[in-house]
Amino acid sequence: MAIDVLLGLQWGDEGKGKIVDVLSPDYDLIARFQGGPNAGHTLEFDGQKYVLNTIPSGIFNKKAMNLIGNGVVIDPITLKRELDGLKQNGFDPVAQNKLAIARKAHLILPTHQLLDATSESNMGSNKIGSTLKGIGPTYMDKTGRNGLRVGDTMLPDFKERYNRLVNKHKSILAHYGEIPDFSEREAAFFEAIELLKNIPQVDGEHFVNQYLREGKTVLAEGAQGTMLDVDFGSYPFVTSSNTTAAGACTGLGAAPNKIGQVIGIFKAYCTRVGGGPFPTELDNETGEELRRIGREFGATTGRARRCGWIDLVALKYAVMLNGVTELVMTKADVLSGFDTIYACTHYQYNGETIDYMPHDINAVKAEPILEAIPGWNENLTEIRTVDQIPVKLLSYIAYLEKHLGVPVKYLSVGPDREQTLCLTSIFSKR
């Protein structure tokens, strides 16, 4: 068996959580492979809305096991809050033995969050747009080889290890002035650690590969989006981990030849949160309309998302980097009512017309070259079969497939899991 990978192709917020939830009945194991509690994977079903920050989005499936992989950084406080919230709503994945954590996953400490806030506040106008969750400083300690891991919580000297790292953080923070009091959060941290000890801790690489050896199905769930990848995104306005399909290998301990289907998710338009380049951004009434109709506010931060037309240059880049085999388009319903929509096919960049992602679109602005496409006026939210899809939307899908070279297999027309259409039947007729 192979690991299928599901990830975002834009700047995050593409609807990954919903699609994982929709696909999870086909899998035995759902595994988060990178990122931290900056994920805001939103799922809606049975009239309820759930936002998952750390826990994999297969948690509501009765069959699937869920793993928080070694590539994830974990805030125990956030994880405890997530689990408490699920329990209040009748879901208890710990009691149901549906959740495990990789021992090699790193822990976010309260002082990591202080470092994050201090760093961001001292950047002035060059702010990255961090969620201030302590994720970046935690990955820095990971690569600096002095971080704390989940498995360390079971060691007799865990508190000593914690104090050593905290003292290091305090010495850094002292350079910026008075260190804020974090005693309350520290107490909450150690309370959450006790809960963490009750969740099965596994050697994630062996756990995942055992599933494969037994012929079981595995879906790797990404967070953020390809264009926020620390290596290939719009650096430095990126996250601190590898959000691409390659990150699934290092984030779960899987060999590259174990990767199967790569499912890429994108919105019918584009959004971005925080700073950084956004070539197709609409800083006008149209952008405001997209934000209003699409309810484009961060599930984790509440921040308003920047909105713009779809960027095919960036999408082709993401498809290439990930080896995408099939696509999922979300939020097609948001574009209903626009007489004309637009797609960016090229950039005007440094005096040239290009159709590829350049090295740096921060220092040299990329101006989008837009192509007009007829819109549709039909309300898509009530559609439940492919024969109900408007002709103009089908034309838009065909247009995107032509440019991207990959079929659109699923279409989302609303936030609920039931508002998802499989387009396989359409493919077979082409």
Write out the catalytic residue numbers. 13, 41
The Cβ of residue 268 has, within 10 Å, a number of other Cβ atoms equal to 25
372 forms bridges with which residues in the sheet? 342
- Under DSSP, is residue 69 helix (H, G, I), strand (E, B) or coil? coil
Stated as kind and residue range, the H or E segment containing 259 is strand 259-267
The Cβ of residue 37 has, within 10 Å, a number of other Cβ atoms equal to 25
C-alpha dist (Å) from residue 64 to 56, 60, 92, 98, 375? 10, 8, 14, 7, 39
Q: Do 255 and 205 contact (CB within 8 A), yes or no?
A: no
- What is the Cα–Cα distance from 418 to 416, expressed in whole angstroms? 5
Closest CA to 77 of 32, 37, 114, 39: 37
Q: Look at the alpha carbons of 146, 150, 153, 156 in this order and tell me if their dihedral is positive or negative.
A: negative
The values of phi and psi at residue 23, to 5°, are -85, -15
The Cβ of residue 167 has, within 10 Å, a number of other Cβ atoms equal to 10
31 forms bridges with which residues in the sheet? 67, 220
Tokens standing for residue 174 = 């002292």
- What is the Cα–Cα distance from 292 to 17, expressed in whole angstroms? 21
- What is the Cα–Cα distance from 342 to 373, expressed in whole angstroms? 6
Tokens standing for residue 92 = 């208890």
- What is the Cα–Cα distance from 98 to 105, expressed in whole angstroms? 18
Tell me the pairing of strands 340-349 and 310-311: parallel
Closest CA to 96 of 85, 107, 86: 86
- What is the Cα–Cα distance from 9 to 70, expressed in whole angstroms? 22
Tokens standing for residue 57 = 């989005």
- Under DSSP, is residue 149 helix (H, G, I), strand (E, B) or coil? strand
Stated as kind and residue range, the H or E segment containing 402 is helix 391-404
The Cβ of residue 100 has, within 10 Å, a number of other Cβ atoms equal to 21
Q: Do 244 and 232 contact (CB within 8 A), yes or no?
A: yes
